[in-house]
Structures are given as structure tokens and as C-alpha cells.
Structure 1
């Protein structure tokens, strides 16, 4: 058993979830990151290239020459780049969450010792389900926000649990969505508060990586205004800005790891409050040891 083992199957308050999330990453981040490189490294690189090209294509739309000719070519490239970026993001998101959650599942089963082969096999087995679940939950949240902001926020809370339900309970995509509403029933507000605080923390961290792109953009805007050369808005999106913006995007994508780990802790907290699974397992283990 790992001396730094963190018990997942127990009740936690908001502060405990956040503390244990970063504690888990501190002790297991290196091995987890190594697994993520194996499972989602290629989609991550493609996602960054697609993100950079999307920024470049967006700049072409603002080019005065392109605008004067109708802007059809630039607009077409932008939508193609956006489509590729969204598809790759969906694949990367599914692989990342699948890897993190199967890593945690193996970590729990091995009491802190992770079987990397089991993690890889689990990710491959659930790959299609994770992609489908990510797409369906995204559509549900999207329509929730289209109806009104409040339904969107309400639906986001149970939908944040669907990946954990699929992996830890080994149930289908439809059952994961159905069970997510039962899981957060009577616990919606504390779950929302935890996700909200976590979101603020991740946003603050991501802002640090956005500073170079923001500073460069502001500097170039000020220089262009001073020299009266702002007639071409596309000039603001040069290769330096694209690279800095891509680095910022890369940091935001990597920070999904924190979200994935935190949602696992939230899931087990809710599951323990509903079913006391961990408590029963501890009682059984004590009985066997005697």
C-alpha cells in the first residue's frame, strides 16, 4: 500500500475535496501525466495545431483584402478549422477524462498502486462511450443554456458526474446520464458550490498563462494606435500572438486534469452520502482482518 494513499470513498466537505484534489495530483501527478502522454498526447498536439490554425483563419477573415472580395475563402477556412478543433477537443476531452478516472479506479483497487496496463485497457474499452457521453452531455448543457442560463447551470451540475458514473459503476451511457440526476438529488447546491469554487481556481491559474498573450496584444494595439496603422485589424494576429495564444490554450487544456480529479472526489463524496459504500467496505475489511 502506498504511504501517501488518499481514500476516495468517504464523505468530504468542499474544502476537503479541493485539498485532496491537489494532494492527489502532488503525489501522483508524474505517473498520471505519463499515462496521459501515452493515451492523449497525439490528440493534444492536433488540438493545439487546430487551435493555432483557427486563430490564424480568424485573422484572415478580418483582412481588408479578403473582406473586399467577400471574405468567403477566409470564412470557410475559419469554420473548417473550428470544426476540426471541436472534434479534436471532444476526442481529447474523452481520452483525458477516461485516463484520469481509470487511473483513479486502479489507484483505489491497488490501494495507491496503479496498474498502467489496466488503465490503458480501460481507456480503450470505454473510448467510444466516453466520446458519446461527452457529446450527449454537451448537447444537453447547450440546449439548457439556449433555453435560459439557469437551466443550463442546473444541468451542468449532474452532467459533470456522468464520466465518473460510467467508469466507476461500469454502466451504459444512458444509465450514466439518468443516474447523474439521482446522484445530485438533494445535494445540488453543495455540488454546484464545489464546482464553482474549483472553476474560479482553475480560471485564476489559466489567467497566469494568458498574461504573455494579453501583454503582447495590448502592446501591439498601443503601438498601432500611436503609429495610426490600425486600418488592418488582422495584423494584430501575427505569428507571435498565435504562438502565445496557443500556449495559453495548451495550459487551459492541461488544467482539465484538475477538473477530472476533482469530479472523481465529488462523485465519491455524493455516492458515500447516498449509499455509504466506502463505510460498508471498511466494516467488511475489519471483519475479515479479525
Structure 2
């Protein structure tokens, strides 16, 4: 997460420079060069975020799987690493496919996009906990959420709002540090677009980004427990009892 946060900040610095170049020299020898760089850095930011979130999901779910199988003290950290390596690309592939499906749904109409987002929210749990391939995990997620779609939607909304509010609170220091150069150059648009932030701003931004990435694991954990709750209700395998023992053992 720290590496992803640092990369995100470095990309944002380069993106700011490209934006400053657009503002200060919009009719230069190659007016589209800075614009192209700007969008390229946006793509890199999305790519880093996708890899970070994939690693986070694989880590949390891999840990939960080993905890259920072997108990609290029955496995080592390197086994979690093997779980991450094993499921990283399946999760990444599933994320890409589900993202495409949701984007198409939102383009056609907002409601189908929301429906697919909720119905596919347990696909990663099915991939890791049940060892299913993408097609079977896809069907399994629909199967588990079908009878409790509104409950799943509520959990997703609440978890997302919590992460959003906490992320805003964590962003306050970097926002305050970034306001000074913005207010200083507010009368000079070109200077404002090409302004340089302090080192403290970039450090605060890196810390905030890392903590925000970690906070993004909260919905992942919630959906993991929700998965076991749905399986318990539907098939009664007593897995929920094993999950509940986590709090008792801690």
C-alpha cells in the first residue's frame, strides 16, 4: 500500500506539471503533448489503484480463508503471500470484466449498472473461498445475492459512505497544506496552474492516499462476512460459526 501511495503521489506531481504546461503554453510547438501526458497520468493512476485494490482484496480474503481452514495460529504470513500470488490475477481479471459489465449497465441506464454492481459484489468471495472459476463465481454471486439483494445494496452503501467520510476527514491536512499556494496565486491563473506545492503537502498526500487505500478494505471485509452469512442461510454449512470465532479469539 505504501508503494502504491507513493506512486500515486509521484504520478499526481507529473500530472500537475502537465496541467501547468497546458495552462502556461496552450499554443506551443506541440499543444497536444501535455494534454496527452495529462490523460496518460490519469490512466497510470487508475492502473495503480486497480493493482493496489486487487492486492488488498487478495490479502484480506486470503487471510480469512487460511483463518477458517487452519485457525488463528495455524498458518504463517508467507502462506498469506502465496494466497495473494495465487488469486491476484483471477481477482484482477474478474474486476476488469465486472467493471466492463457495470459500465455498460450504467451507459444503458443507471439502474442496470447498480443491479450488476450489487449482484456481482460476492464474486471475489466465490473465487477465493470456494475456488471457483470466473464463470462459476459469476453465477454463484448472482445466486447468493438474489434473495438478499436489498440487504447487500444497503451494506455496500453504508460501507462506501463510511469510507468516503473517513477519507474526507483524512484528506483535511493535505487540503489545508495545498490551499496556501492556491490562495497565493489565485489572481494569476497561469501561476496557479503551474504552482509548486510544499514537501509537507506531498508527504501528507502520500500518507492520506495510503490510509485511504487501507480504508477501502473495509467494504471488502464487510462483503466477506456477508458472503458467509448468505451461505449459512442458504446451505447451512456452519461456516458462519467459524467466522464468528474470530472476535472471540482476538
TM range (shorter): 0.7 to 0.9
Residue in 1 aligned with 2:49? 89
Tell me if the contact between 1:217 and 1:236 (Cα under 8 Å) persists in the aligned partners: no
Matches within 5 A, 1:1-290: 44-46=2-4, 48-63=6-21, 64-69=23-28, 71-116=31-76, 117-225=78-186, 228-236=187-195, 238-240=197-199, 241-278=201-238
C-alpha contact 2:122 2:227 (8 A) present in aligned 1 = yes
TM-score by length of 1: 0.73
Residues 160-200 of structure 1 deviation map (CA, whole Å, 9 limit, x = unaligned): 21111100111001211121111100201011111111111
Question: Contact 2:228 / 2:239 at 8 angstroms: preserved in 1?
Answer: no
Q: Does the 8 A contact of 2:11 with 2:45 survive in 1?
A: no
The answer to whether the 8 A contact 1:144-1:155 is kept is yes
Q: What RMSD, in angstroms, separates the aligned Cα atoms of the two structures? A: 2.5
Which ranges of structure 2 fall in alignment gaps of 5 or more residues? 243-250
CA distance in 1, matches of 2:137, 2:151: 20
Q: TM-score, normalised by structure 2?
A: 0.83
| Alpha-carbon distance in 2 for matches of 1:179, 1:123 | 21
Q: CA deviation at 1:101?
A: 0.4
Partner SS, residue 67 of structure 1: coil
The alpha carbon displacement at 1:222 in A equals 3.3
Give the deviation of 1:45 after TM superposition. 1.0
2:238 match: secondary structure: helix
Bigger relative contact order, structure 1 or 2, given CA contacts below 8 A and separation 6+? Answer: 1
Q: Contact (CA 8 Å) 1:101, 1:264: kept in 2 or not?
A: yes
Residue 288 of structure 1 is matched in structure 2 by: none
**Aligned 8 A contact 1:163 1:176 in 2:** yes
Cα deviation, residue 235, structure 1: 3.4
Q: Deviations over 1:32-60 (max 9, x none)?
A: xxxxxxxxx5xx51453244323532452
SS at match of 2:189: coil
1:237 and 1:186, CA in 2 relative to 1: closer, same or farther beyond 3 A?
Answer: farther
